[in-house]
Amino acid sequence: MTDAALLAAAQVSKAWPFEEARKLLKRFPDGKPDGAPVLFETGYGPSGLPHIGTFQEVLRTTLVRRAYEVLTDGAPTRLVAFSDDMDGLRKVPDNVPNQGLLTAYLGHPLSRIPDPFNKYESFAHHNNAMLREFLDRFAFDYEFVSASDNYNSGAFDGALANVLRSYDAIMGVMLPTLREERRKTYSPVLPVSPKTHQVLQVPIEVVDAEAGIVRFEDHGDVVEHCIFGGQAKLQWKVDWAMRWVALGVDYEMCGKDLTDSVRESGKIARVLGGRPPEGLIYELFLDENGEKISKSKGNGLTIEQWLTYGSEESLGFYLFREPKSAKSLHAGIIPRAVDEYWQFREKLSAQPVEQQLGNPVWHLLRTNGYHGGDGDSLPVTFGLLLNLVGVMGAHATREQVWTYLGNYIHDADPADHPALDALVDKALAYNREFVAPTLKRRKPDANEGAALLALDAELVRLGEDASAEDLQNLVYEIGKNPDFGFENLRDWFKALYETLLGSSQGPRMGSFIALYGVANTRKLIAEALG
């Protein structure tokens, strides 16, 4: 692939990262002024620990960043992971120790609350460290920026003065969006109380915009107070807009639940003399019942759970596809995502460049942390691996699994197949948790029993060295034999799955028999007929 061919394909690619990146080309047709890097931002609220939503936003933003670099032949870019750690603590999370300690600091900025884990100087510092550890785990290329550092150091003071100068215009944007009762107390600026050190939700009066002086009521007293140097923070939508303008953010995506915020923050950014960033509004995750995932309900799937049962690459693959469509996020989707990742990866090298750019794996292999495993294919699909361990039972070991893999892979050695070896552990975990408890083999009916007897006799004839293809042809021939009364091959395969494997769905039977072994398959048949 030549650079010219890649660029030509990228300019017309319908893959969503390139479509998003082309928004930035329109924003800066001649590149960003003075050769400055295009700034991508992701946001994080450190009132809780990072989660799969944090991962997907950084991953998807990185995909757009890399696509933009292709389109511009390597124009400079930056990715900022921004922590909104000046926010006041509204609720004590359920999953932290020392709940009473946090309760005593409700309303205080997160960066000025003691760490309930007793590891860092504040609760925000603890969660920010977890965020950086989380992102570093996947080798993302990013710069960490915190709200508290910028507010406290005075880096945002000029932007805050600009907000005070634009106070009336900002209120003109926000007040029509609020209920009448909320309008009476709304303020774009949330001063930190000199008395209680809490972030106050009170109306303010601008006294001196350039000096940052405002007037407000603080627990019964009217005070004048400078909001510079970390003595205030901004209301969410105003804060978002201020940050875009102050940092020069060019691209930021967000979930559908922030659609109104994007619109109103965009208006405020223009009031402040800036330009809102380009961005993608993505759909939210749903649980297996089709309900919106909620951290408080705990009805989703954590990234740790996904990586227990599936690979990092499969998670990236699943998150890549159709970001504007709602996605189910539960354990049942993992096996398919694993196998589809490898199906697309196997196709990649043979595809022409324009098809490669539509292949999710091309994009994933260009991000940080996706350097792949052993080659571009797996000798055994994850689905087939799950069928194998399902038959072996909940107490199967990885050593036993590799013994069976030796039936299918010449000189099978885990060291030679690290990607498959990693999936063996995940298949065993998935089987123990989700498959083994549900398997239930039924007795075959008379016609099915006759077909199984015929299959058993033919397996004796073919022997242990039969190829997966020969075994598959054998299974087909028996299913098509009118003597056994199957209306179609689907009914025959369903009978095999339900009587031999204990499931209504299953693998390509020729591959399964080759993997499990002819003698062992004959034992399954004998058990079914017995």
Q: What is the mean pLDDT of the segment spanning 321-333?
A: 93
The answer, yes or no, to whether residue 199 has pLDDT greater than 90, is yes
Instruction: Return the number of other C-beta atoms located less than 10 Å from residue 133's C-beta.
Output: 10
Q: What is the mean pLDDT of the segment spanning 218-237?
A: 96
Average pLDDT of the chain, as a whole number? 93
The answer, yes or no, to whether residue 302 has pLDDT greater than 90, is no
* Percent with pLDDT over 90 in the chain: 87
What the block records as the tokens of 94 is 């359920």
Q: What is the mean pLDDT of the segment spanning 399-409?
A: 94
pLDDT band at 301 (very low <50, low <70, confident <90, very high): confident
Residue 317 domain-assigned (yes or no):
yes
Which stretches of 155-292 are DSSP H helices?
Answer: 157-165, 167-174, 180-183, 236-247, 259-271
The answer, yes or no, to whether residue 372 has pLDDT greater than 50, is no
User: What is the number of structural domains in the chain?
Assistant: 5
Q: 502 with 398, same domain?
A: no
DSSP-derived secondary structure for 230-245: TSEEE-HHHHHHHHHH
Q: What is the mean pLDDT of the segment spanning 279-288?
A: 91
Q: In sequence order, what are the residues at sequence separation of 6 or more whose Cβ sits closer than 8 angstroms to the Cβ of residue 314?
A: 306, 334, 337, 338, 340, 341
Q: 30 with 120, same domain?
A: yes
pTM: 0.91
Q: What is the mean pLDDT of the segment spanning 130-151?
A: 94
Q: Give the largest Cα separation in the chain, rounded.
A: 96
pLDDT of residue 370: 52
pLDDT band at 46 (very low <50, low <70, confident <90, very high): confident
pLDDT band at 373 (very low <50, low <70, confident <90, very high): very low
The answer, yes or no, to whether residue 356 has pLDDT greater than 60, is yes
Residue 271 domain-assigned (yes or no):
yes
Write down which residue in 282, 316, 347 finishes a domain: 282
DSSP-derived secondary structure for 372-436: -SSSS--SS-HHHHHHHHHHH-TT--HHHHHHHHTTTSTT--GGG-HHHHHHHHHHHHHIIIIIG
Q: 37 with 119, same domain?
A: yes
Q: 73 with 138, same domain?
A: yes
pLDDT of residue 295: 55
pLDDT of residue 276: 98
Q: What is the mean pLDDT of the segment spanning 474-496?
A: 96
**Closest CA relative to residue 113, chosen from 63, 148, 71:** 148
Length of the chain, in residues: 530
pLDDT of residue 286: 86
181 is in which domain, residue-wise? 172-234
Q: 14 with 75, same domain?
A: yes
pLDDT of residue 514: 95
Q: What is the mean pLDDT of the segment spanning 163-175?
A: 98
Q: What are residue 286's DSSP bridge partners? A: 292, 328
Q: 518 with 409, same domain?
A: no
Cα 249 to Cα 39: distance, rounded to the nearest angstrom: 5
Q: Parallel, antiparallel, or unpaired: how do β-strands 281-282 and 205-208 relate? A: unpaired
Q: Which of 63-67, 132-136, 247-251 has the lowest mean pLDDT?
A: 132-136
> Phi, psi (5° rounding) for residue 145?
-135, 135
Q: 270 with 293, same domain?
A: no
Q: 456 with 330, same domain?
A: no
Alpha-carbon dihedral 24, 29, 35, 39, rounded to 10 degrees:
-10
Instruction: Tell me if 364 sits within 8 A of 322, measured CB to CB.
Output: no
Q: 70 with 132, same domain?
A: yes
What the block records as the tokens of 143 is 């710069």
Instruction: Tell me if 347 sits within 8 A of 317, measured CB to CB.
Output: no
Q: 300 with 253, same domain?
A: no
Residue 348 domain-assigned (yes or no):
yes
Q: 191 with 202, same domain?
A: yes
The answer, yes or no, to whether residue 88 has pLDDT greater than 60, is yes
Q: Which of 226-235, 293-302, 339-348, 459-468 has the lowest mean pLDDT?
A: 293-302
Q: What is the mean pLDDT of the segment spanning 84-108?
A: 92
Q: 33 with 102, same domain?
A: yes
Residue 397 domain-assigned (yes or no):
yes
The answer, yes or no, to whether residue 192 has pLDDT greater than 70, is yes
